Amino acid sequence: MTDIFVSYATSDRERIIPLVETFEAQGWSVWWDRQIMPGTSFDDMIEQAISHAACVVVAWTEASVNSDWVRTEALFGLDKDILIPVLLDDVELPLAFRRTQAAKLIGWTEQEPNNVDLQHLLQGIGQLIGTTPDTHESPSPRGDERPSIAVLPLNDLTNDPTLLGLAEGMTEDIITHLAQNPTFFVAARNSSSQFKGGASDVHEVGRTLAVRYVLEGSVRKVGGNIRVVGQLIEAETGGHIWTDIFNEPIEDISTAQDILTEQISNAVAAAAGNDNFQRILRTPRDQLGPWGLLALAAASPVNNREGRERRQNLIRSAIALDPSSGVAHVRLADVLAQDFVAEFSEDPDADRKQALVEIQSAMRLAPRNAAVVAIAATTYMNLGEKRRSISLARKALALAPIAPSNLTLANVLLRAGEAAEAISIYQELTAKAPKDVGPNHRGLAVAYCIIGDYEKALPHAEEWELWSPGEYAACLLQANLLALLGEKDAALAAIEKVRVTIPSFRLEQGIAQMARGQATETAREHVTAGLQLMLEKEQSSD
């Protein structure tokens, strides 16, 4: 979902650019018709964009008051109660819009960032879309540990008129895709476009745009494929963090562009996220801000009391530093709910109540932050609120139609017993991002087990363990599946891998662990039936 749809008359385009740049500088995503690619249906693109916008800003000028397109778009915003009119010329508005207060920016230029009317406009937009300027979390008081990225315009090496505009379109799509992920700060397109053409000094890019990472690359035609070469560079040192080559058949340019965009964006997000976390690990604890503390909390072990206590303490420290952080509040709700489900809580009722309070605080502070909404969805599932969980997971996907949101939806559907729909999402995610499929293997392993297809489930359980070495849940599921398939020795070997991590492990613990993660009786039966057989054999031999 886009924060702002800008409606204007084509002849006013140059006047609109400073306004768009101002909105993007606040961290808001903006759609305007410069993003329409050649060959795209104009009407369809406009309709899709405006229907997915949280706010419609209409620039009224001498030209736009007579534009049927602008009036139609303004009526859409008025009907949805998401219209914010802006006067750039002293004109009389069409009758239908005279009752809506307009921001007066007559004569305003980009050299007036503190203009009072402009500030009122920005505040009005923030109130309408449910967030203050900058949809993402505010920078940490001790420095922003969030990964920050500038996507430089991809070099067009195609020399093919049928692919005209492809590189520019892909650059725009990658920026949009990364910016939809609240984990990252992404430099606005109009800021990074100044480095278009030729080799850029990444040190200068980093300093100019205040980013840690720079993504650059090229697009070319190789045989019947579109080939994209991408490289992620650490701006301060100039060192390569990640580089890869992507190929996609050229038969359908639009489809190829979508697939390549998602693959590249997912790979860049993973590489930047991993490198940024290593930075956080190297930073002294007392120098970390809320974001760094939350990252450490997410990496804390949860299979022992010390790890769980450390995780909660880190999150509470983050809240103390920044009580307005919606992410911190929802993270606390999440860990409280996890302890509640795992029966680690010393006072389950109190922890459940506090988790609900923390969710409400988070949703009030960051109602349009997709990460907050997604974590809230998972937390509600842990608290037994299946319907609310699925509803919020779908909202997170609408706010940010990216891989993490799809994964959240698949996971809560799986927990709710909707295994078939979950499988289709996991499969789609695997097809779009074949190099980052660890979480998908986990989901597919559990899903196929729940529907009783143990042979299909086993390879995914094995891949899950390969992607997450030492993950005892993966070993438990393998043991369960192997026992159900009659491979007793292999099932015992899988249990022994669990005991490497937890020497005192007993099968009763494993059965309880696997059952707690499921919300339906059928699911609990399928993920524990093999372990039950092993337990019965173990008891009979005693």
Look at residue 64 and tell me if it is in a domain. Answer: yes
- Domain closes at, from 401, 416, 441: 401
Is 389 in the same domain as 433? Answer: no
CA separation for the pair 63, 60 (Å, rounded): 8
Look at residue 140 and tell me if it is in a domain. Answer: no
Look at residue 158 and tell me if it is in a domain. Answer: yes
Name the one residue in this structure whose structure tokens are 């560079």.
Answer: 233
Look at residue 373 and tell me if it is in a domain. Answer: yes
CA separation for the pair 528, 411 (Å, rounded): 19
Is 274 in the same domain as 152? Answer: yes
Which residue range is the domain that position 521 belongs to?
424-542
Look at residue 186 and tell me if it is in a domain. Answer: yes
pLDDT digits (tens, 9 = 90+) for 115-140: 777 877 887 787 777 654 443 443 33
Is 310 in the same domain as 377? Answer: yes
Token duo for residue 165: 């505009």
The highest-confidence range among 55-59, 304-308, 535-539, by mean pLDDT, is 55-59
- Residue range 510-518: mean pLDDT, rounded: 86
Is 114 in the same domain as 168? Answer: no
pLDDT band at 214 (very low <50, low <70, confident <90, very high): very high
- Residue range 277-286: mean pLDDT, rounded: 88
Look at residue 263 and tell me if it is in a domain. Answer: yes
CATH number of the domain where residue 388 is located: 1.25.40.10
What pLDDT does residue 423 have?
Answer: 95
Is 318 in the same domain as 242? Answer: no
User: How many domains, in total, are found in the chain?
Assistant: 4
The answer to whether the CB of 441 falls within 8 A of the CB of 460 is: yes
Of the candidates 415, 414, 395, 413, the residue with the CA atom closest to the CA atom of residue 405 = 395
* Amino acid of residue 174: I
Is 164 in the same domain as 225? Answer: yes
Is 155 in the same domain as 118? Answer: no
Is 261 in the same domain as 324? Answer: no
The answer to whether the CB of 423 falls within 8 A of the CB of 439 is: no
CATH number of the domain where residue 250 is located: 3.40.50.10610
What pLDDT does residue 38 have?
Answer: 38
What pLDDT does residue 227 have?
Answer: 94
pLDDT digits (tens, 9 = 90+) for 62-121: 999 988 889 888 888 888 888 999 999 888 888 777 777 788 888 887 666 667 778 778
The answer to whether the CB of 283 falls within 8 A of the CB of 293 is: no
Is 185 in the same domain as 270? Answer: yes
Is 152 in the same domain as 265? Answer: yes
Look at residue 534 and tell me if it is in a domain. Answer: yes
Weakest mean pLDDT among 132-141, 160-169, 276-285, 475-484: 132-141
Token duo for residue 487: 């491979």
Pairwise pLDDT comparison (467 vs 461), residue with the higher score: 461
pLDDT digits (tens, 9 = 90+) for 251-275: 888 888 988 998 899 899 989 999 9
Q: Does the pLDDT value for residue 390 go beyond 60?
A: yes
Please give the mean pLDDT across all residues of the chain.
Answer: 85
Q: Does the pLDDT value for residue 41 go beyond 70?
A: no
Look at residue 415 and tell me if it is in a domain. Answer: no
Q: What are the phi and psi torsion angles at 387 (to 5°)?
A: -65, -45
Is 287 in the same domain as 266? Answer: no
- Residue range 162-171: mean pLDDT, rounded: 86
pLDDT digits (tens, 9 = 90+) for 476-508: 999 999 999 999 999 999 999 888 878 888 999
Task: Write down the pTM of the prediction.
Answer: 0.67
Q: Mind giving me the DSSP string for 83-130?
A: EEEEESS--PPPGGGTTS--EE-TT--TT-TT-HHHHHHHHHHHHHHT
- Domain closes at, from 86, 101, 129: 129
Pairwise pLDDT comparison (286 vs 27), residue with the higher score: 286
What pLDDT does residue 68 have?
Answer: 85
Is 187 in the same domain as 224? Answer: yes
pLDDT band at 179 (very low <50, low <70, confident <90, very high): confident
CATH number of the domain where residue 39 is located: 3.40.50.10140
**CB neighbour list of residue 469: distance below 8 Å, 6 or more residues apart:** none
Of the candidates 130, 119, 136, the residue with the CA atom closest to the CA atom of residue 55 = 130
